[in-house]
Amino acid sequence: MWNTTKTAMLLAALMALCGGIGYFVAGPAGLVWGFAFGGLGNVLAYFFSDKIALSAMGAQEVRREDAPWLIDMVQELATRAGLPMPRVYVCPQMAPNAFATGRNPSNSAVAITQGMLRMFPRHEIEGVLAHELAHIKSRDVLIATIAATLAGVISSIAWMVMWFGGGSGHSRDNPLGAIGALLMIVLAPLAATLIQLAISRSREYAADEYAGQLCGDPLRLAAALERLHVRNEEIPTDTNPAFHSLYIMAPLSARGLGGLFSTHPPTEKRIAALRRQAGLY
């Protein structure tokens, strides 16, 4: 029920932001066009956000003959979790990472990068995939995917305003209107980021805990997170930042004040929680 409410709130937020930006671009007429654009965005976000995310990452679906061990691993984890078999994708990025997407368990997918396939032992990959299936099990994948998609849409609209017009005729004549238009350009992407922040952090701890249960050993995921932390500092990620909240670990490490705007909890805290779950301390 809460996830349904959050979905409705996200879609309403898209409508409000699109309408507000439209108003500052073209006044009352722009408000109508903004709401129309927001309505179209809602349809696309709900039904096609998974395809948008996979396309943004350049993901290719994996056939059994390509990687039978990977398909078998996902199938075994899905069976343990009581989930339908998700589609499995591989992304071309060498920076190791993984994510899940889809509007419900019956239309879900898990994706893993080439870098993780090449650099990580299989037992750690199992821990990572268990984490992604935990997101599917808890049905928060739709929320995260829509949030990421809307972040990209909102940021794109804001950039369009910056390059193709910063306010309607009446707002340009009014200094306060001009300031409002400038604030919209700056705050729209920030609002999208804050939406993601409100969703992402708490769900990562819950997914880590369930993954530890699902794969039978929390230390598998703990080791994978430790390796991810090191590798993601060594290998740059060239994907759209709007979709970084979907990953099991944020590609860019946030330090100091920047950590306040991270979509993921600190890696050391996640590892510590998994070690406590394993009974180490």
Residues identified as active-site: 132
Give the C-alpha separation, 57 to 73, whole Å. Answer: 22
> For residues 93 and 90, what is the distance between their CA atoms, to the nearest angstrom?
9
Task: Please report which helix (H) or strand (E) contains residue 245, including its range.
Answer: none
Alpha helices in the chain (DSSP H): 2-56, 68-81, 114-119, 122-137, 141-164, 169-173, 175-215, 218-234, 267-277
Question: Using CA of residue 254, residue 250, residue 192, residue 55, what is the dihedral sign?
Answer: positive
Q: Within 10 Å of residue 4's Cβ, how many Cβ atoms? A: 11
Closest alpha carbon to 264 in 242, 248, 277: 248
Torsion of CA 213, 246, 230, 220, to 10 degrees: 10
The first and second tokens of residue 193, run together, are 């980021």
3-state secondary structure of 166: coil
Bridge partners (DSSP) of residue 113 are: 91
265 neighbors 205 (Cβ within 8 angstroms):
yes
Q: What is the DSSP letter of 86?
A: P
d(CA 74, CA 46): 25
**Identity of the residue numbered 171:** S
